[in-house]
Amino acid sequence: MKNWIERYLYQIEKKLPQKNRADLVEELKSNLYDEIEGKYGTHEPTEKEILQFLQENGSPSEIASSYRGSQQALIGGTLYPIYLLVIKITLLASMIGLFVATSIAIGFGNQTFWTGIGSLLSTMFQTAITAVGMVTIIFALIERFVDPDELKQKPQEDSWNPKNLAALPTKKTMLKRWESIVAIVFLTLLLIGFNFFSDSMVWLYSANQARVVLPIFNQEILTQYLPWLNTFWIAALVFHVILLIRNRWNTGFRLVKIGFDWAGLVLFLWIISNPTLFTLQEGPLHDLFASMARIGIAFIIGITLLETGSTLYKILKP
């Protein structure tokens, strides 16, 4: 009996608002056991009776919706809590990136303090609109096209069957949510940074007692690669959002992760193999950068190999 109740509560919990979620689950749990005791008395209900009781009680989505209220929106009730979380993450990450970039521009570049602050304020609005719009489009597409039984789990009175409740996550399938959150932050920063602020990424060094500010990338060359980068980053972002919604791993998702890891590595190596991508073409700083780049490439390849090995081990581990 307890296993089915715990499965039921777990599915409801995922759909509840973050605020007061623990208290709501405890309240629901107490109410469920009180209703079961009131219906079946002192005798232990059978599995069939528990399943019948849960079916009559309503699907997890129906129960969760009663605490959220009815929602007819672009982003459905099941996805909405995750959507809000991702919005907060992307806005926070974007603002941090802007503050860092502005600080560098004021401290090492040619911007005055008030010019930098004015630029920051105007850019913050543009960045916030871009970040919210990008995340909203991704979630709207997920809401529209992804299998509703797998992700949205909208109330379906006729088809709701407690026997279809997913098992509680095991240690093997448990998702560490912070990993997907970090990935979403990183991918969002890459998308916003390279599409809107790549010309603000600069080399800062001294030459002949003068401070030199030189753009890192040749913008004409970088523009040629942006469609490839954007496609990869958006696909990876969608993957991590779906993974965060599912809140668990399976073999298919681990294999997709391996595919993303190696696709990203191949894309990275292909792009940086073009020396004209970078504005720094000669001099001691160029030689230092080339040496550091080789070390960085070796490190990234090593990390990818370790990640692949670790993921394969988790797939094969009983």
- Nearest Cα to Cα of residue 233 among 199, 264, 271: 264
Q: Tell me the C-alpha distance between 82 and 14, whole Å.
A: 9
pLDDT computed for residue 155 by the predictor: 42
Res 70: pLDDT: 46
Domain enclosing residue 205, as ranges: 73-164+177-216
Q: Say which amino acid occupies 46.
A: T
Co-location of 106 and 195 in the same domain: yes
pLDDT (0 to 100) of residue 111: 63
254 lies in a domain?
Answer: no
The count of other CB atoms within 10 Å of the CB of residue 16 is 21
End residue of a domain, out of 18, 49, 70: 70
The answer on 66 and 77 residing in a single domain is no
Structure tokens at 174: 């448990």
Q: Pick from 26, 41, 70: which residue ends a domain?
A: 70
Question: What is the number of domains present in the chain?
Answer: 2
The predicted-structure confidence for 164-200, as pLDDT tens digits, reads as follows: 676 676 777 778 878 888 888 888 888 888 887 787 7
Taking the C-alpha atoms of residue 167 and residue 171, their distance in angstroms, rounded to an integer, is 12
Q: Is residue 223 part of a domain?
A: no
Helix (H) and strand (E) counts in the chain: 10, 2
The answer to whether residues 160 and 95 belong to one domain is yes
Report the alpha-carbon angle 183-188-191, nearest 5: 125
Low-confidence residues in the chain, pLDDT < 70: 1-2, 17-19, 67-79, 104-111, 143-160, 164, 166-167, 169, 204-212, 283-285
Q: Are residues 154 and 88 in the same domain?
A: yes
Instruction: Decide: helix, strand or coil at residue 174.
Output: strand
Query: Side chain identity at 168, as an amino acid letter?
Result: L
62 and 26 within one domain: yes
